[in-house]
Amino acid sequence: NLTTENAEAPVAERTLVLVKPDGVRRGLSGEILRRIEAKGYTLRAVRLLRPTSEVLHQHYAEHEGKPFFEPLVEFMMSGPVLAVVAEGEGVVPGFRSLAGATNPTEAAPGTIRGDLGRDWGTKVVQNLVHGSDSPESASREISLWFPEL
């Protein structure tokens, strides 16, 4: 009975992934999308865009006032960003786990940052991807990057 199944289906968990300008510039967008799909998550929306300062100030609001905040916003405006909504049970922590530690030098091999990232000696840590840190952040960030969803 399809009606009953739909009524009982949980709302699919979603996360916001960004392939940051370093990832797009290095031609790693496809490899990063491949890893998300290979893990079994579904790509729900994908958009290549140049984010505005306003979107980035809202996206990174929790970091406002920190020494890396303005350099981070500037870095995020240095080239196109690939914004992705990925879907699947456990996708919020699951993608954080695929991404690896914030510092690519410390990120474990097997992770996106561990396999594909390194320290380039830049002021801002260039670590290829962003992933929402909680379902609440995911919902806020998806509305910001994909207002039509």
Q: Which residues are catalytic?
A: 130
User: What does the block give as tokens for 69?
Assistant: 């905040």
Shortest gap between Cβ of 26 and ligand UDP (angstroms)? 15
| Residue of the chain from 125, 128, 138, 142 that contacts ligand UDP (CB under 6 A) | 125
Stretch of 11-19, 39-47, 84-92, 122-130 contacting ligand UDP, by CB under 6 A: 122-130
How far apart, in whole angstroms, are the C-alpha atoms of residue 106 and residue 99? 12
Binding-site residues for ATP:
20, 68, 96, 102, 113, 127
Residue 78's closest CA among 32, 33, 126? 126
How far apart, in whole angstroms, are the C-alpha atoms of residue 96 and residue 131? 6
Q: Per rule CB under 6 A, is residue 17 in the interface with ligand UDP? A: no
- Quick one: 29 or 127, whose CB is closer to ligand UDP? 127
Stretch of 25-33, 46-54, 125-133, 136-144 contacting ligand UDP, by CB under 6 A: 125-133
Q: Per rule CB under 6 A, is residue 72 in the interface with ligand UDP? A: yes
Q: Per rule CB under 6 A, is residue 91 in the interface with ligand UDP? A: no
Q: Per rule CB under 6 A, is residue 133 in the interface with ligand UDP? A: yes
* 48, 80 contact by CB (below 8 A): yes
Q: Per rule CB under 6 A, is residue 105 in the interface with ligand UDP? A: no
How far apart, in whole angstroms, are the C-alpha atoms of residue 70 and residue 72? 5
How far apart, in whole angstroms, are the C-alpha atoms of residue 17 and residue 121? 24
Residue with tokens 């998806």: 142
Q: Per rule CB under 6 A, is residue 130 in the interface with ligand UDP? A: yes
Residue 25's closest CA among 146, 145, 103, 126? 126
Q: Which residues of this protein are in contact with ligand UDP, per CB under 6 A?
A: 68, 72, 102, 124-125, 127, 130, 133
